[in-house]
């Protein structure tokens, strides 16, 4: 039996170190960004809130079909008259300018992202925004080299791309979509998620600041109906979607038989596999980073811990000690490790699946932690005694909940890791290089991290197998997805 460690009280507690929110200027209401201008939509509006306090941040326009039509027309005009004809070396100048402005305004972007999304400032400041800038720099560098990149001598853009993104990495998902599309000469109509529209709207201001020609980037806020209108619009050449597998399937059905190209980046249930020869201290950090980074709202989260039976007790013991030191709370506090759950709906889903995990026989453990009164919170949670039949071993929880399964042999680890409808990512922790290579060949996952986890780089393609979707973002494959005849 694994013994449950007592909560270890640190010798020195951290004093609060809140990041000031004075740098952001949140307006009372926002319109849609169409054809280079902010305009009132034809539809109604919705509120976006701070999930750590439930404070209403702003009223945001909800784009209806007529608005989407205006946005697509603006994008079409911009493509045929300006952006699609512009030499790549000129497009690159705009992209480099956007990348530099993102760097200059990075603190503002990070604070706004943490306020609207609930993620710790440490992550938005040190991960999200730097990787956003890196994506624009990376694809800016390709814009004038497309004819030397293996796509033929004169590769052509697709035209107008409709792009729909989720709430877990709002600005990063925008960058993954917009940077390659623009570098390849396409124009875009992008819909951010309903709960996190604010950094996309600030990005629209950055496009104005960079003097990007009107209509090249259009930002249309709204919920599922707005997304459906983008997918259904007859003059969109490509749909790029990141989100849940259910909506991804609906989109695949909607565009079947049309001229539209599609890339789908969907859900995951990654195995983080720890062998008995693994560097255990590093593995513990990798497990924690794998599932508690961004509150576990990560498509490639290491949500299934597969640990070799001979070291399971030691790993779980150390993991619990480490989990006891995680600080959950104010996303703007620079000491915070785990922030707020993004929405009441997501919190309800995490609670429901965790309760099911317990009722199906899993043993649930969380460190003692004081959760704030207002806002949406869930403690870091570990399940042991999980079998592959349990729903918490099969379904994406998309929260700070780790399900642990043990194995004896490498073959058993592979079988259990691949026993999922998803195939986005996996992690392998072992001292043996040959085993890493063997595992990487056996695992049906788009990304396999070795002795690390959740590392992202714009040069590295990212995408899934099976129900995790199709198409790749990042690197050269990310460009191919926006060029005729290349994807
Ligand atoms: P979601 O419900 O599928 O929403 C994703 C986006 O699609 C949102 O902008 C959403 O609008 C919109 N949408 C909803 N219904 C639509 C429809 N019928 N037609 C067109 N658009 C529609 O997913 P989510 O719950 O926000 O995001 C979490 C999921 O995303 C997880 O499953 C996660 O694994 C996945 N994800 C995957 C990756 C990846 O790269 N593979 C990355 C991040 C997240 P509203 O938000 O306004 O409803
Ligand atoms: Mg919000």
Ligand 1 centroid from CA 243, angstroms = 3
The tokens describing 476, both together, are 């050269």
Q: At 297, phi and psi to the nearest 5? A: -80, 65
Half-sphere exposure of 341 (CA within 13 A, CB side): 23
3-class SS of residue 29 = strand
Instruction: Output the residue whose Cα is nearest ligand 1's atom 43.
Output: 299
Pairing outcome for strands 160-164 and 238-242: parallel
The pair of three-digit structure tokens given for residue 481, joined into one six-digit string: 């997805």
Q: Where are the beta strands (DSSP E) in 297-423?
A: 304-308, 363-365, 381-384, 401-407
Pocket of ligand 1 (CB under 6 A): 164-168, 191, 193-194, 223-224, 227-228, 231, 242-244, 247, 250-251, 265-268, 299, 396, 398, 424, 464, 469
User: Residue 485: which pLDDT band, with cuts at 50, 70 and 90?
Assistant: confident
What separation in Å is there between the alpha carbon of 64 and the centre of ligand 2?
20
Cβ 471 vs Cβ 265: under 8 Å: yes
Amino acid 487: pLDDT = 55
The residue-averaged pLDDT of 18-31 equals 97
Per annotation, catalytic residue among 19, 299, 300, 467: 299
**Residue 235 exposure: Cα atoms within 13 Å on the Cβ side:** 16
Residue 203, CA distances (Å) to 14, 96, 114, 170, 447 in order: 34, 14, 15, 11, 29
Ligand 1 centroid vs 266 CA: distance in angstroms?
A: 8
Q: What is the pLDDT of residues 269-283, one digit of tens each?
A: 999 999 999 999 999
Which pLDDT score, from 0 to 100, does residue 14 have?
84
Strands 304-308 and 271-274: parallel
**Which residue's C-alpha comes closest to atom 34 of ligand 1?**
267
Q: Residues of 226-239 as b/e, b for ≥16 C-beta within 10 angstroms? A: bbbbbbebeebbbb
Which amino acid residue places its CA nearest to atom 42 of ligand 1? 299
Q: How far is the CA of 166 from the centre of ligand 1 (A)?
A: 4
| Whether 440 contacts 448, CB under 8 Å | yes
Asked if pLDDT for residue 1 goes beyond 90, the answer is: no
Ligand 1, from 43, 118, 127, 166: best to mutate by most atoms within 8 Å of Cβ?
Answer: 166
What mean pLDDT do residues 463-475 have? 93
The question of whether 299 is a catalytic residue gets the answer: yes
What does the radius of gyration of the chain's CA atoms come to, in whole angstroms? 22
Mean pLDDT value across residues 5-13:
60
Please tell me the residue having the least CA distance from ligand 1 atom 19. 228
Q: What confidence score (pLDDT) does residue 7 get?
A: 54
458-477 residues labelled b (16+ CB within 10 A) or e (exposed): beebbbbbbbbbbbbbbbbb
Q: What is the mean pLDDT of residues 437-457?
A: 97
C-alpha 189/C-alpha 178 separation (Å) is 9
Range list of H helices, 20-128:
65-78, 88-104, 106-117, 121-123
Confidence of residue 297 (pLDDT cuts 50, 70, 90): very high
Mean pLDDT of the chain: 96
Q: Is residue 5 over pLDDT 60?
A: no
User: Which strand ranges, in their side-by-side order, compose the sheet holding 55-61?
Assistant: 29-30, 55-61, 45-50
Each residue's pLDDT tens digit, 384-408:
999 999 999 999 999 999 999 999 9
Q: For residue 134, give the nearest of 95, 161, 107 by alpha carbon.
A: 95
Ligand of minimum distance to the alpha carbon of 349: 1
Q: Which residue has the tokens 């779980």?
A: 316
- The pLDDT of residue 334 is 97
Between the CA of 68 and the centroid of ligand 1 the distance, in Å, is 18
Nearest-atom number in ligand 1 for the CA of 243 is 30
Q: How far apart are CA 439 and CA 454, in angstroms?
A: 18
Q: Identify the residue whose C-alpha is closest to ligand 1 atom 35.
A: 243
Q: How far apart are CA 366 and CA 11, in angstroms?
A: 21
Tell me the pLDDT tens digit for each residue of 195-251: 999 999 999 999 999 999 999 999 999 999 999 999 999 999 999 999 999 999 999
Joined together, the tokens standing for residue 439 give 């595992």
To which residue do tokens 């043993």 refer? 363
For residue 2, name the pLDDT band (cuts at 50, 70, 90). Answer: very low
State the catalytic residue, choosing from 62, 123, 265, 395: 265
Using alpha carbons, list the distances in angstroms from residue 410 to 134, 307, 314.
37, 11, 19
Binning pLDDT at 50, 70 and 90, where does residue 286 land? very high
Task: Quote the percentage of the chain above a pLDDT of 90.
Answer: 95
What global pTM score does this model have? 0.96
């Amino acid at each position: 039996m694994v013994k449950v460690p007592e909560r270890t009280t640190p010798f020195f507690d951290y004093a609060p170190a809140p990041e000031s929110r004075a740098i952001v200027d949140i307006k009372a209401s926002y319109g849609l960004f169409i054809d280079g201008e902010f305009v009132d939509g034809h539809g109604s509006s919705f509120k976006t809130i701070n999930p750590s306090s439930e404070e209403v941040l702003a009223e945001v326009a909800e784009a209806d079909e007529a608005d989407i039509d205006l946005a697509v027309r603006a994008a079409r005009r911009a493509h045929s008259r300006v952006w699609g004809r512009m030499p790549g070396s000129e497009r690159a100048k705009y992209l480099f300018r956007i990348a530099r402005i993102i760097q200059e305004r990075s603190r503002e972007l990070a604070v706004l992202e943490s306020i609207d999304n609930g993620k710790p400032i440490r992550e938005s400041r040190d991960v999200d925004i730097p990787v956003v800038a890196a994506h624009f720099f990376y694809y800016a560098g390709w814009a004038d080299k497309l004819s030397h990149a293996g796509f033929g001598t004169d590769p052509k853009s697709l035209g107008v791309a409709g792009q729909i993104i989720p709430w877990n990495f709002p600005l990063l998902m925008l960058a993954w979509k917009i940077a390659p599309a623009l570098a390849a000469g396409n124009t875009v109509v992008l819909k951010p998620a309903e709960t996190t529209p604010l950094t996309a709207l600030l990005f629209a201001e950055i496009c104005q600041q960079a003097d990007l020609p009107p209509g090249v980037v259009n930002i249309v806020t709204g919920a599922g109906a707005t997304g459906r209108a983008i997918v259904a619009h007859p003059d969109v050449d490509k749909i790029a979607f990141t989100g849940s597998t259910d909506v991804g399937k609906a989109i695949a059905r909607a565009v079947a038989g049309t001229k539209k190209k599609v890339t789908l980046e969907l859900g995951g249930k990654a195995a983080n596999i720890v062998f008995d020869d693994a560097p255990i201290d590093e593995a513990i950090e990798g497990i924690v980073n794998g599932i508690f980074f961004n509150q576990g709202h990560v498509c490639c989260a290491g949500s299934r811990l597969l640990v070799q039976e001979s070291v399971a007790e030691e790993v779980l013991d150390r993991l619990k000690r480490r989990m006891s030191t995680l600080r959950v709370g104010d996303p703007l506090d620079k000491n915070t490790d785990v922030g707020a759950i993004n929405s009441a709906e997501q919190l309800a889903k995490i609670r429901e699946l965790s309760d099911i995990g317990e009722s199906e026989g899993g043993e649930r453990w969380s460190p003692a932690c004081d959760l704030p009164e207002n806002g949406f919170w869930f403690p870091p949670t570990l399940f042991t005694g999980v079998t592959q039949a349990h729903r918490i071993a099969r379904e994406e929880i998309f929260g700070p909940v780790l399900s642990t399964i043990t194995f004896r042999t490498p073959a058993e680890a592979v079988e259990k890791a691949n026993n999922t409808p998803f195939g986005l990512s996996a992690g392998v922790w072992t001292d043996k290089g040959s085993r890493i290579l063997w595992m990487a060949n056996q695992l049906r996952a788009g990304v396999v991290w070795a002795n690390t986890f959740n590392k992202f780089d714009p040069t590295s393609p990212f995408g899934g197998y099976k129900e995790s979707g199709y198409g790749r973002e990042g690197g050269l494959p990310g460009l191919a997805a926006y060029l005729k005849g290349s994807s």
